[in-house]
């Protein structure tokens, strides 16, 4: 759902109920825009396969769009949880938590600090 769709849904609900509180983000994060994602996939093994014979994604190499930053590896758990996409942002919070943000949402909420 896009921000505009969510905003319209909240406005439509306002006629029947109190709308949700609106929050503004003011946290610092480290982030790199994703230029390429090279998934590391392994074919199914012979015999009983816990995934039903599906290809298993073990991780990926992410190539940043920004010059001067090396490509880096993320594990399969990160891929399954966040489903990163080219053009979006790999994000690291102060506590070390790694996430993904679509470009529009990230660029609307953050500006480069240092």
Q: How confident is the model at residue 42 (pLDDT cuts 50, 70, 90)?
A: low
User: Using 50, 70 and 90 to split pLDDT, how confident is the model at 21?
Assistant: confident
Range of the domain at 69: 26-109
| CATH number of residue 96's parent domain | 2.40.50
Mean local confidence (pLDDT), 25-45: 86
What's the total number of domains in the chain? 1
Please report whether residue 69 resides in a domain: yes
Percent of the chain with pLDDT over 90: 56
Is the confidence at residue 102, as pLDDT, over 90?
yes
Q: What is the pTM of this model?
A: 0.71
Residue 6 forms part of a structural domain: no
Q: Does residue 60 lie in a domain region? A: yes
In a domain, 21, yes or no: no
Hey, what are 15's tokens?
């006629």
Judge whether 13 lies within some domain: no
> For residue 38, what pLDDT is reported?
95
More confident residue, 85 or 42: 85
Within a domain: 44? yes
Q: Does the residue 19 lie in any domain?
A: no
Query: What are the start-end ranges of the E strands in 1-114?
Result: 29-42, 56-64, 72-75, 89-93, 98-101
């Amino acid at each position: 759902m896009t921000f505009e769709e969510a905003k319209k849904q909240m406005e439509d609900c306002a006629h029947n109920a109190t709308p949700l509180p609106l929050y503004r983000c003011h946290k610092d994060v480290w982030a790199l825009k994703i230029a390429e994602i090279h998934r590391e996939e392994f074919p199914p093994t012979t015999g009983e396969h816990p995934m039903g014979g599906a290809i298993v994604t073990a991780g990926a190499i992410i190539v940043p769009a920004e010059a001067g930053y090396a490509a880096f590896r993320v594990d399969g758990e990160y891929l399954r949880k966040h489903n990163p996409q080219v053009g979006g942002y790999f994000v690291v919070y102060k506590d070390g938590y790694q996430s993904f943000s679509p470009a529009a949402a990230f660029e609307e909420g953050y500006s480069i600090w240092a």
